[in-house]
């Protein structure tokens, strides 16, 4: 984890923003921690906006917060859903456990959650579901409830962020520094305003505002001519599926706008997505604050961002856009179902043993053959995710170039892995 940094400039003091990563399960949590996040956000049971994610059990919270604390990473509990009257007892139980376990903050927008969290002296982060997009909203919560962190509506532009920061400074003076602005920098974009979409509820009885969205916007649509009884395309069948947000190309502008936290979307995403996206933004942030005063910084940082954007394209994405940061993304729609990632993983087998003294993993090949030269991903709830190119393998103490289905193969690795970790081969997407 990168330590908090301030850099004096001739105009202002820039603070290194927090890098906030998603954690949908133990493997993704480990992936985020190992990749260098400053904080993670996670959900439990059904009281969050990713009810379909694996999520954590209530009993996991003490261990999760202890693990984060060992890494020097903050843990935020996402309770960013609508709460009904019959769920208030469950909410109280969750918040009691979170408070006792030392969770650093609660992300929410339902006033029942806000009230119950504040009663327990837990910091509250107002969710993007609240659609906070102006200073009056921020100041209302700040003055009346003492809330200091706000996840802005995704529809806010870079110009909006700068304007909000400037007005907060005029209104509050030195106290403006107490207010933290959080924005999403990477991941899925919704065709509707966050917290205001009813498509899934209307068509399928599954509410997006309860974390149950089945994403009708991501489906392929045709236009039907009733008179001629024929269907046709309007240039693109995915007319409601936006490209994913990627702020890497203009990251320095977000840093200089004064945001406090850069958030990565993806509690439903894979461990390799969490690892790749977290490490890419970590590298960019660290480079910016170490090298920004150097004469050739702009050229080198531009080259680095281009390289890192290429790495981001290897994991799940629907194509990239700047979201709303540079204005309304009128024509930024995906042109296919699912991911545009340039890489894919194929299951090979499972780790059955690891010999720590010699750094060798025993792998039972259950599907795709392993070959020397293959890049493998090894992932598990304690290991997190590890990527490495196979340089040597043995079967029955004899060197081999390939191990097929059914083989038990010894693979030399540079890092500790564990029994039952799953082994995948990374290859170009076909």
Measured distance CA(427)–CA(430) in Å, rounded: 9
Q: What is the pLDDT of residues 269-285, one digit of tens each?
A: 999 999 999 999 999 99
**Start-end of H helices in 313-357:** none
pLDDT on residue 338: 74
Q: How many CB atoms lie within 10 A of CB 360?
A: 17
Measured distance CA(188)–CA(263) in Å, rounded: 12
Report the pLDDT averaged over residues 227-245. 75
Note the pTM of the prediction, 2 decimals. Answer: 0.88
Measured distance CA(22)–CA(275) in Å, rounded: 10
| Whole-number average pLDDT of the chain | 90
Task: Decide: 334 and 241 in contact? Cβ < 8 Å.
Answer: yes
Domains and CATH numbers, the chain: 6-189+242-321 (3.20.20.70), 343-428 (2.40.30.10)
Q: How many CB atoms lie within 10 A of CB 430?
A: 4
**Start-end of H helices in 71-119:** 88-101, 111-119
Q: How many CB atoms lie within 10 A of CB 403?
A: 24
Model confidence at 328, pLDDT cuts 50, 70, 90, reads confident
pLDDT on residue 196: 75
Report the pLDDT averaged over residues 193-197. 73
**Strand partners of residue 27:** none
pLDDT on residue 331: 67
């Amino acid at each position: 984890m990168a330590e908090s940094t301030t850099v004096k400039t001739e105009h202002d003091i820039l603070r290194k923003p927090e890098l906030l990563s998603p954690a949908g399960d133990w493997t993704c949590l480990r992936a985020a921690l190992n990749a260098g996040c400053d904080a993670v956000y996670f959900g439990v049971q059904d009281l969050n906006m990713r009810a379909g994610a694996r999520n954590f059990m209530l009993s996991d919270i003490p261990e999760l917060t202890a693990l984060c604390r060992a890494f020097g990473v903050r843990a935020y509990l996402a309770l960013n859903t609508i709460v009904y009257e019959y769920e208030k007892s469950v909410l109280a139980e969750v918040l009691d456990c979170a408070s006792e376990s030392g969770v650093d903050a609660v992300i929410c927008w339902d006033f029942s959650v806000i009230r119950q969290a504040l009663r327990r002296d837990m910091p509250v982060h107002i969710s993007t579901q609240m659609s906070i997009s102006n200073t009056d909203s921020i100041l209302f919560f700040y003055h009346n409830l003492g809330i200091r962190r706000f996840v802005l509506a995704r529809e806010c532009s870079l110009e909006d962020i700068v304007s909000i920061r400037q007005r907060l400074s005029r209104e509050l003076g030195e106290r403006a520094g107490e207010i933290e602005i959080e924005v999403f920098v990477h991941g899925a974009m919704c065709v509707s305003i966050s917290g205001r979409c009813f498509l899934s509820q209307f068509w399928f009885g599954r509410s997006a505002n309860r974390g149950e969205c089945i994403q009708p916007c991501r489906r392929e649509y045709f236009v039907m001519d009733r008179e001629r009884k024929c269907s046709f395309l309007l240039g693109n069948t995915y007319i409601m599926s936006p490209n994913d947000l990627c702020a890497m190309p203009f990251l320095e502008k977000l840093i200089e706008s004064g945001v406090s936290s850069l958030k990565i979307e993806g509690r439903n995403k894979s461990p390799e997505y969490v690892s790749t996206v977290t490490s890419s933004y970590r590298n960019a942030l660290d480079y910016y604050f170490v090298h920004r005063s150097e004469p050739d910084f702009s050229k080198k940082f531009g080259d680095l961002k281009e390289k890192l954007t290429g790495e981001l394209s290897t994991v799940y994405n629907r194509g990239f856009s700047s979201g709303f940061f540079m204005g309304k993304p009128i024509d930024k729609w995906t042109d296919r179902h699912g991911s545009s990632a340039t890489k894919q993983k194929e299951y090979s087998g499972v780790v059955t043993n690891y010999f720590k003294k010699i750094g060798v993993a025993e792998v039972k090949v259950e599907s795709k053959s392993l070959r020397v030269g293959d890049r493998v991903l090894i992932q598990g709830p304690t290991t997190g995710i590890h990527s490495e190119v196979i340089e040597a393998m043995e079967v029955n103490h004899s060197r081999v170039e390939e191990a097929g289905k059914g083989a038990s193969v010894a693979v030399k690795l540079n890092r500790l892995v564990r029994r039952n970790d799953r082994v995948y081969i990374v290859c170009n997407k076909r």
